[in-house]
Structure 1
Amino acid sequence: MIDHLGINCADWEKSKAFYDKVLGVLGYTRQKDYGVAIGYGRDGKPDFWIGDMSAGDASGPNREVHVAFRAADEDAVRAFYQAALEAGAEPLHEPQLWPQYHPGYFGAFVRDPDGNNIEAVFHGARPQD
């Protein structure tokens, strides 16, 4: 069900050191590091992300939580996006390939009624010509 989860951290330096240490003893390491966001996991798959709260557009005392739900295929991602819009979600990113994440990453993003960034993702998409 849950593909990956992201939280935002107020003290970026302290949070990086904390998660490096506590996740390290569980066998998880940094899989991706974008400077303002770090993904932890194993075998090249980041499952848990931390983000620098001071980076980007902070809205209120805490930026949104990011939750990505695993989808069975590209059609399921499209259906998620359409259902979310029909339910009143704010569109963030229409269903599309995100090759900057990895080849085959097909996702769509919406903002839920509480302002959280919610995604559906399928990891086996074929590149479009």
Structure 2
Amino acid sequence: MIDHFGINCVHWEESKSFYDKVLGVLGYTRQMDFEAAIGYGADGHPSFWIGDASVGDVSGPNREMHLAFVAKDAESVQAFYRTALALGAEPLHEPRMWPEYHDNYYGAFVRDPEGNNVEAVFHGGGPDVSGPPV
């Protein structure tokens, strides 16, 4: 169900050191590092992210949390996005390929009613170009 999630850290340098060490003893390492966001996990799959809370749009006392749900296929990512928008969710990123994450990463992002960044992701690539539009 849960593919990955992320939290934001006010004490960025201290948090990086903390998670490097405590997750390291559990066998997890940095899988991706975008300077303002670091993904920890194993075998090339970052499943826990920390983000620098001082970077980006901060609205309110706490910055949004990020939560990504596993989708069974690209069509499910599209259905997630359409359903969320029909329910009044704010669109963040329509369904598309995200090659900066990996070659077959297909995801869509919305803001939930509480202001969190919620995603559906399929790791098997996008829809067939002859398939139905988003």
What TM-score, normalized to structure 1? 0.96
Displacement of 1:127: 8.4
Q: Which residue of 1 aligns with 2:4?
A: 4
Provide, for residues 5-45 of structure 1, a one-character-per-residue CA deviation record: whole Å limited to 9, x for no partner: 00000000000011011101100000000000000000111
- Distance in 2, matches of 1:6 and 1:47, equals 8
Displacement of 1:59: 1.1
- Distance in 2, matches of 1:117 and 1:93, equals 10
Q: 1:80 to 1:68 in 2, by over 3 A?
A: same
Q: Which residue of 1 aligns with 2:101?
A: 101
Report the identity percentage. Answer: 70
Q: Which residue of 1 aligns with 2:91?
A: 91
Q: Which runs of 5+ in 1 are unaligned?
A: none
Provide, for residues 65-92 of structure 1, a one-character-per-residue CA deviation record: whole Å limited to 9, x for no partner: 0000000000000000011011110000
Q: Which residue of 2 aligns with 1:68?
A: 68
- Distance in 1, matches of 2:113 and 2:22, equals 32
Paired residue total: 129
Kept in 2, the 8 Å contact 1:7–1:51? The answer is: yes
2:94 aligned counterpart, secondary structure: strand
What is the RMSD of the two structures over their aligned residues, measured on CA atoms? 1.3
Q: Which runs of 5+ in 2 are unaligned?
A: 130-134
Residue pairs, 1:42-81, within 5 angstroms: 42-81=42-81
Displacement of 1:128: 7.1
Supply the AA of the counterpart residue of 2:74: E
What TM-score, normalized to structure 2? 0.93
